[in-house]
Amino acid sequence: MSLREAFAWHRPLMAVGLGCAVLVPIAALGVLLDPRVLLGAPIWLKPLKFAASIAIFCITWAWLYDQLRAQRGRLRGAHLAGTVAAVTLAVEIVVIAVQAGRGTTSHFNVSTGLDATLWATMGVSIVVAWLGSLWLTAGLFGVRDLDPARRVAIRTGAVIALVGMALGFLMTGPTPAQLADFHGIVGAHAVGVPDGGPGLALLGWSTTGGDLRVPHFVGMHALQLLPLLLIGLELAASRGGALRDPLLRRDLVATAAAAYTGLLALLTWQALRGQPLTAPDAWTAAAAGLLVIAAGSTAVAVWRARAARDDREPEVTGAG
């Protein structure tokens, strides 16, 4: 497929997605060349991360919109919803880049009138982008004639991504420390510790307290990861074997989606308790272990159920 053909999926989403993709190496140069540091990280690291995330998000939704159109899903208003999401996400990345250029934070910053206006603009943009994504997700439930596994992967991926986006709103309330001693910042990524402390390389997620960016990130990217799992299963199915069964692929994708939902809930619970991703306590570790066992045993049961169907089929044929 050519770039021109891909651009036709949904032009506004693709334009913003490709524009952000171009910004990624530019921001990377900023990280390398600009010595300024903000909250313990290179000042251009946040624009780099958001440009990459928005690029992936927009291009994925452009492809999904094309699936809507090709399969005659609920198209009414879907193109407009995609356009609105694209425009608002473009506003978000512009605000982030402008604030980085000014040498200050974009998120939660109400220190001056200009900072407060830019943060409010970005906040409104994020809400509108979420509503546009909600409309597009609803349209996916009108898609017909899809392979069962594709239907499950696309729909559950979109719904979990919506939940992941919504988790970002947990970061916008003032912390107890901010209420006690206000310094122009309302909201935080970290829980139990100030933003800007020790964190994971590149990602910046806190290693001393909880961090709501973890479930936010994991949830949003279900939109890509579940369809990627599906593609892997389809490639394996093309070589023959049990995965040629569309119902088996569907059930495996559904199992993965359920496990992903459990993981998202676990990461949110961990972050809200002020616990670093890298230092789970016994309760978190136990819950993670139960989740792995449940997902693995369900996948095995699904596979065995498929084998049982195979064993019964000759009997049914012979009885006829």
202 and 296 assigned to the same domain:
yes
Residue 320 has pLDDT above 50, yes or no: no
Among 145, 173, 204, the domain boundary falls at 145
Region of poorest pLDDT, from 79-88, 93-102, 281-290, 310-319 = 310-319
Confidence of residue 223 (pLDDT cuts 50, 70, 90): very high
Burial label for 43, CB within 10 Å (0-12, 13-18, 19+), is buried
Residue 315 has pLDDT above 60, yes or no: no
121 and 214 assigned to the same domain:
no
| In a domain? residue 319 | no
Residue 103 has pLDDT above 50, yes or no: yes
Q: What angle do CA 224, 296, 223 make, to 5 degrees?
A: 10
Residue 142 has pLDDT above 80, yes or no: no
Given a contact cutoff of 8 angstroms between Cβ atoms, the answer to whether 230 and 251 are in contact is no
Which has more pLDDT, 273 or 173? 273
**Mean pLDDT value across residues 215-232:** 94
75 and 15 assigned to the same domain:
yes
Residue 310 has pLDDT above 90, yes or no: no
What number of other Cβ atoms are within 10 A of residue 304's Cβ?
10
* pLDDT value of residue 317: 44
* pLDDT value of residue 139: 83
In this prediction the pTM is 0.89
Given a contact cutoff of 8 angstroms between Cβ atoms, the answer to whether 266 and 288 are in contact is yes
* pLDDT value of residue 6: 81
**Mean pLDDT value across residues 276-286:** 95
Both tokens of residue 71? 């399969």
Given a contact cutoff of 8 angstroms between Cβ atoms, the answer to whether 164 and 218 are in contact is yes
Both tokens of residue 197? 């402390």
Residue 35 has pLDDT above 90, yes or no: yes
- Which element (helix H / strand E) includes 223? helix 222-237
CA–CA dist 38, 314 (Å, integer): 68
| In a domain? residue 235 | yes
182 and 120 assigned to the same domain:
no
Domain that holds residue 13: 1-145
What number of other Cβ atoms are within 10 A of residue 11's Cβ?
14
**Mean pLDDT value across residues 202-227:** 93
| In a domain? residue 150 | no
Which has more pLDDT, 49 or 40? 49
Residue 46 has pLDDT above 50, yes or no: yes
CA–CA dist 127, 17 (Å, integer): 19
- Go through 223-260 and write b for each residue having 16 or more CB atoms within 10 A of its CB, e for each that does not: bebbbebbeebbeebeeeeebebeebbbbbbbbbbebb
Residue 144 has pLDDT above 80, yes or no: no
Three-state DSSP class for residue 151: helix
* pLDDT value of residue 316: 43
Both tokens of residue 109? 């910053």
- Which element (helix H / strand E) includes 38? strand 37-38
| In a domain? residue 317 | no
Residue 172 has pLDDT above 70, yes or no: yes
Q: What's the domain count of the chain? A: 2
Residue-averaged pLDDT of the chain: 89
* pLDDT value of residue 73: 53
* pLDDT value of residue 1: 67
End-to-end Cα, the chain, rounded Å: 47
174 and 115 assigned to the same domain:
no
Among 115, 145, 175, the domain boundary falls at 145
Residue 294 has pLDDT above 90, yes or no: yes
139 and 180 assigned to the same domain:
no
* pLDDT value of residue 318: 44
Given a contact cutoff of 8 angstroms between Cβ atoms, the answer to whether 57 and 20 are in contact is no
